[in-house]
Structure formats: structure tokens, C-alpha cells
């Protein structure tokens, strides 16, 4: 025969969870969880303050080295200021061009140019004149054109850069130095009697033959009867 007594009702799982929440946890468990939370919080703050030491960067993309970091490209104005070395000289040739050839077959021409400067001292009415002697070196096709068309007394305009040469003297053994101008462009100036625009050329040799000297008047840009002083004052 079946018993008529009723079995005790089982409690649902949701009700058990509710009862567990009401049971207070032991004090040691609360302290451990609080200490664990403080440690994790401290690690997180350290990573935020010093990301280069301990940062969650994957291994496939490591931090680039200083040598591989691309530098900022300087602007056009900064490049000009860093590399500015420009010279413009206008004067007359003190001697005929001296042409020579390098072992590689490149033409080199040396020019001696005298550039005059006029000024007036304070308290004086008379004008003073100062002469500067400059050695100019021309390379390539321009050197051949200068040797062909230029001569002593001709007026030219040089556009180039400064170059500092230093060597040891074989006889005395002392160190010598010299500051010269390396021409990048040479302009042939016409004589005052001819007028017109100056003749110029590039490294490809775009020069035109200067006009023939006139029979009378000035010769080579200097008045007749007044020889040009080509002696260097040093």
C-alpha cells in the first residue's frame, strides 16, 4: 500500500542562491579578496604611469628602436639655412686664364679676379678705393670656354661657392691653407662701349663668342694709356 504521508518539498536553486547571499562570509575571505583587489589596482596604475616598462603590446609589434624611428624631414627653409654657401663676385681678370687637365681628362681653369670697392670715410669728401684679389677655379666645359674667350682685363661675374684648401709644404714642411672660389656659373660682361646684355652660360657650354675688339677707344674694358696693375699685394 502506498503511504499517504507527503514528502518534504524541495527548495528551488534560485532560493538557495538567495539564502547563500544572506550568509555572511568569513572575515579572512573578505581580507583576501580586498588585498587581491588592491594588488590588481596597483599593477594597473603602474602600467598607466610607465607604459614603456610594462605595457600590453603584442610580441608581433615590438617597440621600435631609436635608430629605426623616422626623423622629421626638415623644411625647405631649414635646408637653405643649413647649407647656404653662395658667392657673387664681379671684377676684372688680372691675368690670362690658366688651363690644365686632370689625370682623368677633366679641364680645370684658374682665374685671378680683382674686385674694386669704393667707399668714403667719415668726415672726408674724397672717395677711397679698395681692391680685393680672388682666385677662382672653373671646372669642365666652362673651363674650356673661359680659356677660349677670356683674357687679361676682361670683366666677368662669378657665381659659385667658397672652398677651403689645406696642404703641407714639401720644402718647409709647414701647413698651408688657401680660400678659393669654385665657380658654378660664369657670366661674360660686355665692354662699356658695346652695351647689351651680359653673355652667360651653364655647365653645358652655352656661351656665345664675345664681340671683336674695336680698333679705337677702350681696349679690354680699360682706357688706353693706363695699364692694369696685376700685382697681388701679398
Contacts of 230 (CB under 8 A, 6+ apart): 94, 95, 112, 114, 152
**Domain 84-201 grouped into CATH 3.60.15.10:** no
Residue 138, pLDDT score: 92
Q: Where are the domains of the chain?
A: 84-201
The DSSP-derived string for 130-189 is EEEEEEEEEETHHHHHHHHH--TT-EEEEEEEEEEEEEE-TTT--EEEEEEEEEEEEEEP
pTM (2 d.p.)? 0.47
Q: How confident is the model at residue 220 (pLDDT cuts 50, 70, 90)?
A: very low
pLDDT band at 9 (very low <50, low <70, confident <90, very high): low
Greater confidence (20 vs 190) lies with 190
Amino acid at each position: 500500500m502506498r503511504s499517504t504521508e507527503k514528502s518534504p518539498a524541495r527548495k528551488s536553486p534560485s532560493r538557495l542562491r538567495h539564502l547563500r547571499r544572506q550568509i555572511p562570509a568569513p572575515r579572512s575571505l573578505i581580507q583576501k579578496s580586498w588585498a587581491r583587489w588592491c594588488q590588481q589596482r596597483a599593477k594597473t596604475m603602474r602600467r598607466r604611469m610607465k607604459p614603456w616598462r610594462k605595457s600590453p603590446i603584442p610580441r608581433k609589434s615590438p617597440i621600435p628602436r631609436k635608430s629605426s624611428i623616422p626623423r622629421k624631414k626638415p623644411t625647405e627653409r631649414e635646408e637653405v639655412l643649413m647649407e647656404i654657401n653662395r658667392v657673387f663676385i664681379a671684377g676684372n681678370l688680372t691675368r690670362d686664364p690658366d688651363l690644365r687637365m686632370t689625370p682623368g681628362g677633366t679641364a680645370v681653369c684658374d682665374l685671378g679676379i680683382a674686385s674694386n670697392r669704393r667707399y668714403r670715410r667719415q668726415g672726408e669728401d674724397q672717395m677711397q678705393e679698395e681692391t680685393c684679389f680672388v682666385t677662382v677655379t672653373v671646372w669642365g666645359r666652362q673651363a674650356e670656354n673661359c680659356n677660349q674667350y677670356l683674357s687679361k682685363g676682361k670683366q666677368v661675374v662669378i657665381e659659385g661657392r667658397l672652398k677651403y684648401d689645406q696642404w703641407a709644404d714639401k720644402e718647409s714642411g709647414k701647413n698651408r691653407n688657401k680660400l678659393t672660389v669654385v665657380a658654378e656659373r660664369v657670366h661674360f660682361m660686355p665692354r662699356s662701349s658695346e652695351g647689351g646684355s651680359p653673355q652667360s652660360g651653364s655647365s653645358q657650354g652655352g656661351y656665345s663668342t664675345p664681340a671683336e675688339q674695336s680698333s679705337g677707344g677702350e681696349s679690354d674694358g680699360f682706357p688706353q694709356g693706363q695699364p692694369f696693375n696685376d700685382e697681388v699685394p701679398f
